[in-house]
């Protein structure tokens, strides 16, 4: 009896170097609606579902984000992101890691809180064939991270049990979602969060970036 | 016998919300010289002396930053920062904190690894009179953080012993510099670093931002 692991990847900050552009794009969007929020607090919410993000905003700033304002925020963020994120690059080792998993016949998928509109650009930057593995986006589930729905849908698309899955992500939301669905969370520092934050949120192991993870992949269920 | 504390402040990420703009401005500058570095690694070097930054770059990327290339990088960073940082704001509580220290007759100064050119804009955003306290910039010392020279010069300008000073900063470089000159380091999360990183670098206490520090100022030597 052995466990055959599947790998479920977050996208922004985990495979592509796009977190800081998202952060400043949200800052621009919030400024345009005269919502004052420090940038580090935005950083800490990246990768979280938009609905929970606006709920937390309400709690922290007392500003109620109604449906219309929420739509404007999302549009303004998308506009600013397209400008700031013109040259999004894969993180070091990202393409090699996915290529290695393919060659080793280890199933993997991508599960992102972003929408397909943004995700498609990022996946193109990775230089992998998006038809060769499942990509689950915000459009396909009711609740995004830290709810585990995205990862559960990804495991389902692969036909593997979620309990045998390793969730790789850069944010505490990925780690919480992993814990909540009985997957194992593995953290990467490449989104700019601290090692202890990720550990604190349940990461069984933390690596620097995809290259560092590939170097240590035997530790978490990849056999060379 | 009692210790009368003086407060020595870092600027970017400590009093003004400018770290993420600096990070992406450096990313643009490095891209323009075809130097490939992940953004989170740049974030971890913000607030460090430019000379050490380029030395660490050499170690990590193998690329030697000669004098001319280093000058171009600095110019490109300044250009990108002026564009991205058009609307730099004080962090919550920053102006109130400095005002409170003034009213309490507790001496304070600012000591930044940045140059006066950039610092002047930030201090204007703070809405305080820059003539009412010392401001030490990179232009005035031989070595910037994590060397302690900036903080030593700031204590000297105030006429207080460095051993009685509290260094307030958002980066591990501030904390290391504080330790090296026998000051005490107090960390703020507002630069986007993790609590444990700051503690690990020697912070005696960590607060969220200037507002949170002001709320707890009795803990670190400010008496109301």
pLDDT in tens, A42-80: 999 998 887 788 778 778 888 877 778 888 988 899 899
Q: Is-same-fold flag (A6-18+88-220; A19-84)?
A: no
* Nearest-neighbour CA in chain B from A122: distance (Å): 15
Which one of B31, B43, B91 has the shortest CB-CB distance to A192? B43
pLDDT of residue B224: 56
In chain A, what residues touch B89 (CB-CB under 8 Å)? 36
pLDDT of residue A64: 79
In chain A, which residue's Cα lies nearest the Cα of B91?
A38
For an interface test with A, the pick among B29, B30, B40 (most A C-beta atoms closer than 10 Å) comes out as: B40
In chain A, what residues touch B196 (CB-CB under 8 Å)? 194-197
In chain B, which residue's Cα lies nearest the Cα of A93?
B38
Which two structure tokens, joined as six digits, stand for A185?
Answer: 């969370």
Structural domain spans, chain A: 6-18+88-220, 19-84
With 70 as the cut, is the pLDDT of residue A224 above it?
Answer: no
Percent of chain A whose predicted confidence (pLDDT) is above 90: 68
Which two structure tokens, joined as six digits, stand for B88?
Answer: 């730099």
With 90 as the cut, is the pLDDT of residue A157 above it?
Answer: yes
| pTM of the complete model | 0.93
Residue B41 C-beta-side C-alpha neighbours within 13 Å: 18
pLDDT of residue A102: 93
**Span B166-201, pLDDT tens digits:** 999 999 999 999 999 999 999 999 999 999 999 999
* Nearest-neighbour CA in chain A from B196: distance (Å): 6
Whether the Cβ atoms of residue B198 and residue A201 lie closer than 8 Å to each other:
no
DSSP assignment of A62-108 equals -----HHHHHHHHHHHHHHHHHHTTT--BPTTHHHHHHHHHHTT--E
| Dihedral sign (CA B155, B158, B161, B163) | negative
Which one of A27, A38, A191 has the shortest CB-CB distance to B40? A191
Q: Answer whether A43 sits within 8 Å of B20, measured CB to CB.
A: yes
* Nearest-neighbour CA in chain A from B211: distance (Å): 12
**Span A103-151, pLDDT tens digits:** 999 999 999 998 887 788 788 888 888 899 999 999 999 999 999 999 9
In chain A, what residues touch B39 (CB-CB under 8 Å)? 17, 19-20, 192
In chain A, which residue's Cα lies nearest the Cα of B170?
A40
In chain A, what residues touch B87 (CB-CB under 8 Å)? 31
Which one of A40, A194, A209 has the shortest CB-CB distance to B38? A209
Closest by CA to B98, choosing from B51, B63, B130, is: B130
**What is the CATH T-level fold of the domain B6-18+88-220, as seen in this structure?**
Rossmann fold (3.40.50)
Tell me phi and psi for residue B131, to 5 degrees: -85, -10
CATH architecture of the region B19-84: Orthogonal Bundle (1.10)
For an interface test with B, the pick among A194, A206, A213 (most B C-beta atoms closer than 10 Å) comes out as: A194
């Amino acid at each position: 009896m052995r466990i055959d692991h599947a790998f479920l990847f977050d996208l922004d900050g985990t495979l592509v170097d796009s977190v800081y552009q998202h952060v400043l794009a949200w800052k621009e969007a919030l400024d345009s609606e005269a919502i004052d929020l420090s940038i580090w607090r935005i950083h800490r919410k990246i990768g979280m579902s938009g609905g929970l993000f606006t709920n937390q905003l309400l709690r922290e700033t007392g500003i109620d984000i109604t449906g219309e304002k929420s739509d404007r925020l999302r549009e303004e963020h998308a506009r600013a992101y397209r400008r700031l994120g013109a040259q999004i690059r894969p993180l070091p080792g990202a393409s090699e890691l996915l290529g290695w998993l393919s060659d080793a016949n280890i199933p993997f998928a991508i599960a992102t809180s972003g929408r397909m509109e943004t995700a498609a650009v990022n996946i193109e930057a990775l230089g992998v064939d998006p038809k060769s593995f499942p990509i689950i986006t915000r459009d396909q589930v009711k609740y995004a991270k830290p709810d585990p729905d995205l990862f559960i849908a990804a495991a389902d698309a692969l036909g593997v049990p979620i309990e045998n899955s390793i969730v790789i992500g850069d944010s505490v939301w990925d780690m919480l979602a992993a814990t909540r669905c009985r997957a194992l969370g593995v953290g990467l520092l490449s989104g700019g969060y601290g090692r202890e934050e990720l550990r604190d949120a349940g990461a069984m192991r933390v690596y620097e970036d995809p290259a560092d993870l590939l170097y240590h992949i035997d530790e978490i269920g990849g056999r060379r």
